[in-house]
Structure 1
């Protein structure tokens, strides 16, 4: 899920840029922006493929880092995961719009589209950090899990309250056109 791989003693482990940073304290009085802007990054040389631009898998990697920033925004950090709970991505729909190359600035935003006791529905946008060109979007469904039991479980009440506050702020914006759209080859039924 990260922009970096490796750490001392575990070179194969994926590490997010926010790992080890804990989480933000929730402030009920703080205004919740629509959308949230929690993650910016330049295109890493490790993300550039043989075509000279960011590889398709790395778009998802950057969106994953944006999700991690969101988790920390709502109060999920290392202590939460150490207690055996986390949010897992169960479905992602990516839309790649434009190419980017090494060193170009990426600016990520995130909207909470919906949630219930166990699930969180997110929408990410990746824009060029200089001219705001839309580069890619990601729609994701996440599920809250009890890792020890290996199954879904309800989010704690305080996280549901925080998600409720974010959802109220974000629900005033129009739904992005690509949300919920199935993938397929459109065929003319008359031929």
Structure 2
């Protein structure tokens, strides 16, 4: 239904004509207030605003407006229903044009238009300022909690005292701002204490940082926004890596265990061991020439068999490394054994894998090209002189 009040009135009247009393009727309007929607309705107490955000199937927030009018009971019922289906209903205390979130969006939108009109920034530059900066912070901590951290141990009142004078400076076209009276400062500080006072600033910083890292790691997987930037940096660092000594087990992973890799037992989750070894296997593929450029030609290696042993624990913040030894290579497949070590030298885990060269078009096994086959043969010949690692050929449940 378009954002025209006359059309909404007609649709709401038709809905009420075909529904029994007591039904919750929620409008997804972005701007109209419940009192406006309820005008002329047969049962105004059944009409509320339930304003979601696109994509609705992913974003959980939905603003519920109408708690301060004749539909208060209906708003409460809507809150319960929405909570029950996994949404995050936000009760708007008083009805207001555009509710809460859209007022923020409108303020940013208008400021963006001014920046473009005045030749200060382009649309891309404005988007970059958001998605590489404060947008990531806002996504996991919001506005006031972010500024609370900025205020340090002295809290929100200190932040306002430090940055409050900026409201009088020409930092925005939106110069209609409230006067920061003592009462207003106290109200904001008290609300901030009630919201976040159970955490110290250091705890909030840790929560913020862990969330930011997790979000950016997720964006890396999608190669988008800040994640794409991190991928580009990783590629630059990889280009600086020295050529490995092919006569020794090849270094294929060196990283710190992130907090997101730990589970309810406080150590690295079993799936993350496999992820780490998967990344090590990818690095081995790059070493033999099966990199992204080669895969783009329509060929790759598929893992055909994996045997993973968990030997010791890895905790968040531990540095781990993986070394990979080529046991054999010939025809369409190769056989590797990788060992994961803690920075203190402890063996944490091993994995034994067989990989097969595959055409991505036919999804069938094929022979690798001569350059990859030759490199595998050279490494296999050198690694044949190495001791066979303990654990090769083991089966599940075999005594150590």
TM-score category by the smaller chain?
0.7 to 0.9
1:102-125 CA-to-partner distances (Å, cap 9, x unmatched) read 010001100000011110101000
How far does the alpha carbon of each residue in 1:121-178 deviate from its partner, in whole angstroms, 9 at most, with x for none? 010000002x110000000010100010111000111111100110111111121231
Indicate if the aligned counterparts of 2:244 and 2:251 stay in contact, CA closer than 8 A. no
Mapped to 2, the partners of 1:154 and 1:142 lie a distance apart of 12
Structure 1 ranges of 4+ moved more than 6 A: 17-20
Query: Residues 16-75 of structure 1, C-alpha deviation per residue, up to 9 Å, x if partnerless?
Result: x79984997xxxx98513111132010011110011000001001000111111111111
User: 1:7 is matched with which residue?
Assistant: 222
Residue 142 of structure 2 is matched in structure 1 by none
1:116 corresponds, among 311, 323, 330, to 330
Structure whose alpha-carbon radius of gyration is higher: 2
Q: Any unmatched runs of 5+ in structure 2?
A: 1-216, 226-230
Q: 1:181 to 1:124 in 2, by over 3 A?
A: same
Match of 2:267 in 1: 53
Alignment equivalent of 1:158, drawn from 371, 378, 394: 371
Matched, 1:132 2:345: yes
Gaps of 5+ in 1: 11-16, 187-191
What residue in structure 2 maps to residue 14 of structure 1?
none
Name the CA distance, whole Å, in 2 between partners of 1:62 and 1:138. 10
* Alignment: residue pair count: 172
Q: Aligned in 2, Cα 1:90/1:31: closer, same or farther, shift over 3 Å? A: same
Contact 2:307 2:353 in 1 (8 A): yes
The alignment status of 1:183 with 2:396, answered yes or no, reads yes
Local SS of the residue matching 2:247: coil
Which has a greater percent of strand?
A: 1
Contact 1:92 1:138 in 2 (8 A): yes
What TM-score do you get using the length of structure 1 for normalisation? 0.81
Alignment-derived partner of residue 106 in structure 1: 320
Secondary structure at 1:92 match in 2: strand
Question: How many angstroms apart in 2 are the aligned matches of 1:101 and 1:31?
Answer: 29
2:377 equivalent to 1:148: no
* Worse-superposed segment, 69-78 or 87-96: 69-78
1:38 aligns with 2:252: yes
Question: The residue matched to 2:222 in structure 1 has which SS?
Answer: coil
1:170 aligns with 2:383: yes
TM-score (norm 2): 0.40
Kindly indicate whether structure 1 or structure 2 has the higher relative contact order, using CA contacts under 8 Å at least 6 residues apart.
1
CA pair 152-49 structure 1, distance change in 2 beyond 3 A: same
